[in-house]
Structure 1
Amino acid sequence: MDGAVPLDVGLVLDGKYEVCGVLGEGASGVVYDARVVAGDGERVALKVIHRHLMGNSQIRGRFVREVAILQRLRGKHLCPILDSGELLDPRTSDALLYMAIPKVEGPSLEKLVASAGPLPIERSIDIVLQICSALVDAHGQGVIHRDLKPANVLLRDGEHAFVVDFGMAKIVTGTGGTGTTDLTTHNMVFGTPEYMAPEQARGDELDARCDVYAVGIILYELLAGKVPFQGTSPLSTLTAHMTADLPPLERDVGPALRAVIHAALVKSADERYASASDMARALEHALRAPDDVDAVSPRLPRSHTVPLPSIPPPLVRASAPQVREAPRGIAARWVLVWVAAIATGIAVGVWLSLHTGR
């Protein structure tokens, strides 16, 4: 565990939580299956930062930000935060930074796809509609997830979807602009390459439409059993999102559903669905009328900004990275210079993302 001392099964922390096992582990911490000692012994997922990373300002800041985000989120398909703070390890008296959320009894969507392969059309749409519902609630409360993927969707009893892991999320400011609060460094790119929108891969300013793109990738994966863009490296995968045509689904899903997928995965965010609710309405219509392509097209003009409340302290605010597209007719050598410049930021950002458990 990279220097971390695991918590033993049966260990009771501060008289509050009894450790029952491990649910998962990343580079930044461990998620434990735990029981609340008081009351009826409710089971929770206890996320604990590795003690050797307690002094890492970025890891700690990201954790504190995730707590702040979860404290403001409410929704049928979002897991509320139950508790957070510091606990003492009774063996060492070390302080452990933690958060507790309800334990979801069921697999992640990632595990479901890995074991079942392509899902039936109706079930795929049902799961994606639930994800859209979670995003409608999150976006309406000022939060874009920014790392939406099947691993971050949990299925209670295999049916009820919960979107989790907001450690990479951004909060859009309510100050009249489209700026975002963030802990990332200028020109760094964070996220999971297979699910990142082209504007996210470029390091552009983000809004709700980057999550819409990720939902489109998830829908494609549920129907095809694989993601549409998969390179030999994170950088080649990101490049494919920005430049490659969407591989056609080899499965007959009907014209309307195929059109929804294409509309969610358009390279230009301006031509994409403006919101998760727009995409959900298109999916519901495609289910009712599989051949009605016109009715599921994104409507223009439309507003794509998320109306948001003000940002609570103590979130760290930083400028979002901006990358300008090269003008038409620019010499090939300058295109190569531009690609090399953003490639450096992308490669470093992806490396950091992958090595901080996100």
Structure 2
Amino acid sequence: MIGIGHEGIEREDVAREWSAARKIRVLSRGAGADVLEVEEGGRASVVKVLRRGASLVERARFAREIDALASVRHANVVRIDKVVTDAEGVRAIVMPRLVGSSLRTWLATFGRMPAPFVLTVFSDVLDGLSELHGRGVVHRDLKPSNLFIGREDHERPSDARGIVLDLGLASTASGAVTTGSHLVGSVRYMSPEQLLAGGIDARCDVWGTGVCLFEALTGGPAFPTDDPLEILRHDPVERLVAPTSPDRRGWSAIARVLARALAKRPRDRFASAAAMREALLEARGEVAR
């Protein structure tokens, strides 16, 4: 199992770790891992626990997340504080508890976001992605449930920001998770090259960010289908309608960012997350005028 010897991450035996916990609450259950909130010593953490009997693919995803995040210390990327092991190897990862909500929950609760807020959140997200890309990591599974708007438990409300979560499908220098001929990821958010099993690089995440950005701005999906052929044919920017004032300001600049981020051919997109972030900040400047 990879990732357990990375500098800066503490290793702990799983039996000792669980015996010290005072409160445990299940946040979610997945096919291969459960996510818990664990309170110990008056401080809460989030613990992702690999299920016993998890498939080889799920184990590989778990290891991939550790490998991708082990050395990353960036305000806009979720952090691993501890790796927990048992006799079978890596069993759990401990991360800070975040206060806020995923983009998915936000949109389901409040609908579309005001443009200035969207541009601020997504400039944060792109800053985090730029850090990952600089380390040779491509997320590959950007979607509203993997983007968080909030802060760490101990931080001030004013520290709220966009944070990238869940790198279980990340492509790293040591390889990417595959499942034979099956698509890996969420089809509505996958880039054309992913759908066509082509080469993957940072521009894949530029596409995923663009799809999420469209959804945050409009409150609706960029691609209302899971049919890969329809996604390859469809251009969501064509049906982009400017909102009513005051969010209408700078809308043409936002539309240009979306059109480039969602270009079907990778070479027509922003070459990097940093380049997309720069364009987004320029658009935010127009919105603020």
The answer to whether the superposition gives a TM-score over 0.5 is yes
Residue 307 of structure 1 is matched in structure 2 by none
Which one of the candidate residues 85, 91, 95 is aligned to 1:97?
91
The alpha carbon displacement at 1:64 in A equals 1.6
Deviates more, 1:19-28 or 1:257-266: 19-28
Aligned counterparts of 2:98 and 2:192: Cα–Cα separation in 1: 32
The alpha carbon displacement at 1:203 in A equals 0.8
The alpha carbon displacement at 1:276 in A equals 0.8
Residue 30 of structure 1 is matched in structure 2 by 34
Which one of the candidate residues 168, 182, 198 is aligned to 1:204?
198
Residue 154 of structure 2 is matched in structure 1 by none
The alpha carbon displacement at 1:87 in A equals 5.0
Residue 12 of structure 2 is matched in structure 1 by none
SS in 2 for 1:228: coil
State the TM-score, normalizing by the size of structure 1: 0.67
Which one of the candidate residues 178, 181, 190 is aligned to 2:184?
190
Q: Answer yes or no: is 1:48 the counterpart of 2:52.
A: no
The alpha carbon displacement at 1:18 in A equals 3.6
Aligned counterparts of 2:230 and 2:71: Cα–Cα separation in 1: 35
The alpha carbon displacement at 1:149 in A equals 1.0
Contact kept in structure 2, 1:33 and 1:44, CA below 8 Å: yes
The alpha carbon displacement at 1:98 in A equals 0.8
Contact kept in structure 2, 1:188 and 1:203, CA below 8 Å: no
Aligned counterparts of 2:235 and 2:196: Cα–Cα separation in 1: 17
Per-residue CA shift, 1:191-214, capped at 9, x if unaligned?
Answer: 111111111111111000010011
Aligned counterparts of 1:289 and 1:190: Cα–Cα separation in 2: 37
Mapping 1:200-349, distance limit 5 Å: 200-231=194-225, 234=226, 236=227, 238-246=228-236, 247-252=238-243, 253=248, 254-289=251-286
The alpha carbon displacement at 1:68 in A equals 1.7
The alpha carbon displacement at 1:30 in A equals 1.1
Contact kept in structure 2, 1:72 and 1:141, CA below 8 Å: no
The alpha carbon displacement at 1:96 in A equals 8.1
Structure number, greater radius of gyration: 1
SS in 1 for 2:98: coil
The alpha carbon displacement at 1:224 in A equals 0.8
The alpha carbon displacement at 1:244 in A equals 1.7
Aligned counterparts of 2:20 and 2:66: Cα–Cα separation in 1: 19
- Structure 2: 5+ residue runs without aligned partners? 1-14, 152-156
Residues 269 and 73 of structure 1: CA distance in aligned 2, closer, same or farther (over 3 Å)? same
Aligned counterparts of 1:120 and 1:219: Cα–Cα separation in 2: 12
SS in 1 for 2:223: coil
Identity level (%): 29
Residue 85 of structure 2 is matched in structure 1 by 86
SS in 2 for 1:106: strand
Mapping 1:160-175, distance limit 5 Å: 160-171=161-172, 173=173
Residues 71 and 215 of structure 1: CA distance in aligned 2, closer, same or farther (over 3 Å)? same
SS in 1 for 2:70: helix
Contact kept in structure 1, 2:170 and 2:177, CA below 8 Å: no
Aligned counterparts of 1:64 and 1:229: Cα–Cα separation in 2: 31
Q: Answer yes or no: is 1:119 the counterpart of 2:113.
A: yes
Contact kept in structure 2, 1:46 and 1:99, CA below 8 Å: yes
Per-residue CA shift, 1:66-100, capped at 9, x if unaligned?
Answer: 11211122211112211113259xxxxx9981111
- Structure 1: 5+ residue runs without aligned partners? 1-10, 89-93, 174-179, 291-358
The alpha carbon displacement at 1:20 in A equals 2.5
Aligned counterparts of 1:218 and 1:14: Cα–Cα separation in 2: 36
Contact kept in structure 2, 1:154 and 1:163, CA below 8 Å: yes
The alpha carbon displacement at 1:187 in A equals 3.8
SS in 2 for 1:165: coil
Aligned counterparts of 2:44 and 2:272: Cα–Cα separation in 1: 34
Letter in 2 for 1:21: R
Aligned counterparts of 1:287 and 1:130: Cα–Cα separation in 2: 13
The alpha carbon displacement at 1:105 in A equals 1.4
Residue 311 of structure 1 is matched in structure 2 by none
